[in-house]
Structure 1
Amino acid sequence: MTHLEDRISHALRDAPTTPSTDLFDRVVDSIAADRRRRRSLALAGAAGIGVVVAATVAVLTLTPRYPDGALAMPWWILEVGTTLVLLALAVWLGPFIKRFGRAYAADVFHDNPLTGKSYIVLTDVVYYLIFAAYILGTSTFAPHEGWNNSSTGTVSPDQVQAASIRVAGILLVIGILHGLNIVLMPVLGRLFSLNRRVPGPRGPDREPVDLDR
């Protein structure tokens, strides 16, 4: 072992250790806090679903109808609703992916914990930038010619299909990028680990640093 490893092992072996008196209480509090966090997340998810359902029912109820009973929903209502769905996906998927990705990143970057934390933060930034760019780039502020509703100004089947493609597109993009991230993360972790272990160049006149001084 190196001199530094000898010092660390000597300090851990000879240092007096006493069991913590409040260890059990801290473990119980940690479990209770985790249960409260899971309960709050479940309540938040249920509340979000309830809001979406209530908003959908309200829109369908307040939307005027043609004499034959068909809905006459203005085109912009579906456009705004699709954008809100994309925003909800961004807010929900981000913490969901991070929650299950922390353990994976910690295992990959076990030799570089700070690098792993920075990597997660940077991927979060990229994630939200992609969502923002996609939402802004696919938003429509006037009826599209391909919707075949320029004369009526109401929702058409072509517009519904376009809205479905918007939602499916962002899910596909995030899925592909997340899959690439899962594959590339171990490679990056291995490279960072090797870079950390490789010693720096030592010149002919360079002396080793004495850690005792």
Structure 2
Amino acid sequence: MTRRPETPGEPSEVERRLYDALDPAATRPPAPDLFERVLGSIADDRIRRRRIVRTVATLVLAILLLAAIVAVFAPRTGSGQLLLEWWILELFTDALLIGLALWLGPFIKRFGRAYAADVFHDNPQTGKSYIVLTDIVYYLIFIAYILFTVSFQPRENWSIFATAEQAGFEARRIGGILLIIGVLHGVNIVLMPILGRLFSLNRRISRR
């Protein structure tokens, strides 16, 4: 069996197999053929879609499992009315915030790469570093918000069972983090072109 000679800079067959074996979704060296690059992009998109479907399905199953456990083991009144203890609603909100962070972060990053690549077209490596740094800031904000708002005991106007006051507080927690991320994301969209222009100008001055 004769092998096609490899052109300089083209990944060998062994390298391609190693990339596929280690991580099918990893960033591979670009193929020299346009058709192969298109096929690779389609395969990567399918992998991302399967990961999103698995993440959403896992989150839905976790919520359904938690709801089933609550329905079975939660105490009831004499008339059969369900009494939900305060810590169950608290844990449910915490799990929802964590799931929201794990889903929303990759979702924003997926659609922000093209925008960052267009803004930092003169400095591609700077654009990649900027995306990584914004990811770190994003998760730090989520972690800090959850730690600041978590409750380890019932608050003053709460009961040992879930009340309307606690439900309103938990709803405000979810709305608060969405508002914070939305505002910061909007500011980031406005500031990114300015930063890209400054970096490009700085690079041109350095070349001169």
Q: Does 1:134 align with 2:141?
A: no
1:114 corresponding residue in structure 2: 125
Shift of 1:26: 4.6
Identity among equivalent positions (%) equals 57
Rounded to whole Å, the distance in 1 between the matches of 2:77 and 2:129 is 56
Q: Does 1:65 align with 2:76?
A: yes
Instruction: Quote the RMSD (CA, aligned, Å).
Output: 1.9
Shift of 1:55: 1.7
1:207 corresponding residue in structure 2: none
Return structure 1 stretches of 4+ with deviation > 4 angstroms: 20-23
Shift of 1:46: 2.2
Q: Deviations over 1:64-89 (max 9, x none)?
A: 11113332211111111111111111
1:99 corresponding residue in structure 2: 110
2:204 corresponding residue in structure 1: 197
Which of the pair has more CA radius of gyration? 1
Amino acid at match of 2:70: V
TM-score, L = length of structure 2:
0.79
1:48 corresponding residue in structure 2: 59
Q: Does 1:30 align with 2:37?
A: no
Rounded to whole Å, the distance in 2 between the matches of 1:21 and 1:122 is 31
1:21/1:85 Cα in 2 relative to 1: closer, same or farther (>3 Å)?
A: closer
Amino acid at match of 2:126: T
Rounded to whole Å, the distance in 2 between the matches of 1:96 and 1:200 is 37
* Aligned match for 1:167, one of 162, 174, 178: 174
Partner-residue secondary structure (3-state), 1:68: coil
Shift of 1:41: 1.9
- Unpaired segments ≥5 residues, structure 2: 1-30
Rounded to whole Å, the distance in 2 between the matches of 1:64 and 1:161 is 22
Rounded to whole Å, the distance in 2 between the matches of 1:131 and 1:36 is 26
Amino acid at match of 2:157: G
Rounded to whole Å, the distance in 2 between the matches of 1:136 and 1:103 is 33
TM-score, L = length of structure 1:
0.77
Q: Does 1:144 align with 2:142?
A: no
2:5 corresponding residue in structure 1: none
Rounded to whole Å, the distance in 1 between the matches of 2:32 and 2:198 is 41
2:99 corresponding residue in structure 1: 88
- Unpaired segments ≥5 residues, structure 1: 1-19, 202-213
